[in-house]
């Protein structure tokens, strides 16, 4: 099969196995060039196939020599359909980990369900006995509640009033105003049910009840704060409410884990081109300006650089936290000089000057890169077998 990108709005419906393998290998190679760090030894990553979860898995495996068990929701290839990028990423990760002698196993299915939690616990009992780090890095548009069967959908909306600001159509380069109506109370509750902390808590309780959390276990989940430009649709919007809930859950879990000298943490990460952030209105335009400014200032970081810094110099190095107890690896994004310049560009940017004022071209190539496209050394005109085993 010859595989080309098919972009529909903010997703790409095809993925390239060799390109995804290249992207994973690039992350692994980057970690191998850093000094090894003293980190966890047996890690469970929930949401391990793309974005921050995949980078967490790579950083801890190749940086700290950890055995990793990954949980994700991806689709293998079937008939004329390619697999999803996360499937190919995980296949490539497994191969590289095993080649280097590291344990790697993955479970593909709905992490919100009791069945997948039980399957994960069985895998830990079989192979690892206990885990000493649980990374919770899910990003999902929906969740079926495992106890009530209720179907929740998350929305990305402001709260309290209509929000109008600039946004970009990444493919056409058109910058226009977008007006987003405020969420209803029900939509706020649904978004919190999907992206808040309830499922994280269910995971930790299930793992604890099964006796598979090691003494001194740590668990961490990721949040975002970002600049004022995006606050109405992010931090002060529905997703922000969910993140507040996630952050509150960290406090409850931290207390719960004290009994086994464990702890729960929140890391505030930098805005990054991922499949999830591409879906948020306004954010892709902000990211394309942010990347430009951070690259010019030499302080830009990719997913793997962020996750390596988090684990090697943060969580396992006694990192300082903010007043809310969160680890801040968004410090460079939030630097006053960076934000001042992004805001100045934000005020000027329009369809005509987008290419020169922003890194929209880099945004586009990173977006396609998420699906394995655009890598030097991969011949996209060659017939490839889309099947890959985990
Ligand atoms: P992503 O879309 O790249 O990854 C999401 C992961 O969740 C994938 O592995 C996917 O398979 C998995 N997943 C989704 N639904 C699932 C389900 N039902 N069962 C099992 N697995 C499922 O997302 P990301 O951008 O890396 O986000 C990860 C976390 O980081 C989120 O909490 C997000 O809010 C946070 N974060 C992201 C950014 C950013 O700019 N991308 C910034 C700060 C924090």
Q: What are phi and psi of 143, to 5 degrees?
A: -150, 135
Which is it for the CA torsion 274, 245, 183, 228, positive or negative?
Answer: negative
- Decide: 196 in ligand 1 pocket, CB within 6 A: no
Which among 20, 45, 47, 245 is the best mutation to test ligand 1's pocket, defined by most ligand atoms within 8 Å of the CB?
Answer: 47
Which residue matches tokens 């990374």?
A: 135
Ligand 1 touching residue 70 (CB < 6 A): no
The answer to whether the CB of 87 is under 6 A from ligand 1 is no
Q: What's residue 9's pLDDT?
A: 86
- In the structure encoding, which two tokens stand for residue 149, read together? 């069967």
Rounded CA-CA distance 264/312 in Å is 17
Q: Which residues, including other chains, have CB under 8 Å from residue 337's CB and lie 6 or more apart?
A: 297
- Separation in Å, CA 214 to CA 28, 68, 152, 154, 261: 27, 14, 32, 33, 9
Going from the C-alpha of 201 to that of each of 112, 134, 239, the distances in angstroms are 11, 11, 18
Closest atom, ligand 1, to C-alpha of 52 = 26
Other Cβ atoms closer than 10 A to 382 = 9
Phi, psi of 239 (to 5 degrees): -65, -35
234 noted as active-site residue: yes
Q: Which atom of ligand 1 lies closest to the CA of 239? A: 34
Residues 6+ apart with CB under 8 A from 333: 226, 270, 271, 290, 294, 339
Please choose, from the candidates 130, 334, 147, 141, the residue with its C-alpha nearest in 3D space to the C-alpha of residue 226.
334
Q: Is 39 in the pocket of ligand 1 (CB under 6 A)?
A: no
C-alpha span between 89 and 19 (Å, rounded): 9
- 86 in ligand 1 pocket by Cβ < 6 Å? yes
Contact between 58 and 66 under an 8 Å Cβ cutoff? The reply is no
Cα(348) to ligand 1 centroid in Å equals: 31
Residue 197 Cβ inside 6 Å of ligand 1? The answer reads no
Euclidean distance between CA atoms 312 and 39, whole angstroms: 7
The residue behind tokens 């560009």 is: 345
Q: What gap in Å lies between CA 184 and CA 365, rounded to an integer?
A: 36
Report whether residue 51 contacts ligand 1, using a CB cutoff of 6 Å.
yes
C-alpha of residue 17 to centroid of ligand 1, in Å? 20
Predicted local distance difference test score (pLDDT) of residue 240: 98
Q: Where are the alpha helices (DSSP H) in the chain?
A: 17-32, 51-58, 64, 85-99, 114-123, 185-195, 198-209, 238-258, 283-296, 303-308, 336-348, 354-357, 360-369
Mean pLDDT by 10 residues, the chain (390 residues): 94 97 98 98 98 98 98 96 98 98 98 98 98 98 97 97 94 94 98 98 98 98 96 96 98 97 98 92 95 97 98 94 97 98 97 97 96 97 96
The CA-atom distances, in angstroms, between 1 and each of 7, 115, 207, 280, 380 are: 18, 35, 42, 32, 10
Task: Give 276's contacts (C-beta < 8 A, 6+ positions apart).
Answer: 51, 139
Q: Bridge partners of 177?
A: 166
Q: Is 281 in the pocket of ligand 1 (CB under 6 A)?
A: no
Residue nearest to atom 30 of ligand 1 (CA): 222
The response to whether residue 73 sits with its C-beta less than 6 Å from ligand 1 reads: yes
Distance 201 CA to ligand 1 centre (A): 17
140 close to ligand 1 (CB < 6 Angstrom): yes
**Residue having the nearest C-alpha atom to atom 8 of ligand 1:** 47
Per-residue confidence (pLDDT) for residue 263, from 0 to 100: 98
Ligand 1 atom closest to residue 246's alpha carbon, by position in its atom list: 32
At 24, is the secondary structure helix, strand, or coil?
helix
Q: Which residue in the list 222, 234, 316, 363 is annotated as catalytic?
A: 234
Closest CA to ligand 1's atom 6: 47
User: What is the rounded distance in angstroms from the CA atom of residue 275 to the CA atom of residue 138?
Assistant: 12
Q: Where are the domains of the chain?
A: 7-143+188-283+299-331
| DSSP code for 81 | B
Topology annotation, domain 7-143+188-283+299-331: Rossmann fold (3.40.50)
**Cα-to-centroid distance, 112 and ligand 1 (Å):** 13
- The alpha carbon of 139 and the centre of ligand 1 are apart by a number of angstroms equal to 3
pLDDT of residue 87: 98
Interval between CA 353 and ligand 1 midpoint (Å)? 32
Residue 51 Cα to ligand 1 midpoint, Å, equals: 6
């Amino acid at each position: 099969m010859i595989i080309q990108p098919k972009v529909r709005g903010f997703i790409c419906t095809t993925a390239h196995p060799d390109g995804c393998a290249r992207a994973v290998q690039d992350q692994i190679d980057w970690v191998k060039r850093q000094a090894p760090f003293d980190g966890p030894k047996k890690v469970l990553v929930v949401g391990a196939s793309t974005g921050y979860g995949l980078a967490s898995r790579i950083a801890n495996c190749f940086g700290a020599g950890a055995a990793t068990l990954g949980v994700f929701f991806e689709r293998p290839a079937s008939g004329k359909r390619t697999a999803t990028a996360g499937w190919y990423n995980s296949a490539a990760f497994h191969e590289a980990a095993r080649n280097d002698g590291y344990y790697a196993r993955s479970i593909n299915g709905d992490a919100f369900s009791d069945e997948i939690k039980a399957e994960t616990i069985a895998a830990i009992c079989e192979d690892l006995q206990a885990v000493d780090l649980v990374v919770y890095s899910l990003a999902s548009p929906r969740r079926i509640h495992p106890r009530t069967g209720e179907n929740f959908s998350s929305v990305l909306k402001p709260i309290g009033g209509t929000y109008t600001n600039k946004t970009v159509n990444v493919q056409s380069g058109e910058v226009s105003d977008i007006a987003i109506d405020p969420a209803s109370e029900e939509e706020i509750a649904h978004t919190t049910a999907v992206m808040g902390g309830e499922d994280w808590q269910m995971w930790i309780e299930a793992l604890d009840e099964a006796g598979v959390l090691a003494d001194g276990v740590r668990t961490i989940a990721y949040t975002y704060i970002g600049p004022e430009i995006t606050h109405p649709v992010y931090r002060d919007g529905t997703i922000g409410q969910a993140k507040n809930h996630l952050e509150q859950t960290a406090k409850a879990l931290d207390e719960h884990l004290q009994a086994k000298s464990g702890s729960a943490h929140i890391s505030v990460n930098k805005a990054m081109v991922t499949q999830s952030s591409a879906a948020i209105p306004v954010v892709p335009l902000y990211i394309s300006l942010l990347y430009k400014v951070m690259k010019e200032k030499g302080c830009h970081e990719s997913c793997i650089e962020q996750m390596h810094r988090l684990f090697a110099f943060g969580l396992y190095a006694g990192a300082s936290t903010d007043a809310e107890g969160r680890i801040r690896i968004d410090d460079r994004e939030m630097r006053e000089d960076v934000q001042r310049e992004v805001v100045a560009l934000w005020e000027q940017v329009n369809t005509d000057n987008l290419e020169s004022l922003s890194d929209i071209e880099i945004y586009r190539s990173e977006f396609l890169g998420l699906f394995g496209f655009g890598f030097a050394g991969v011949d996209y005109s060659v017939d490839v077998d889309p099947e890959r085993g985990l």
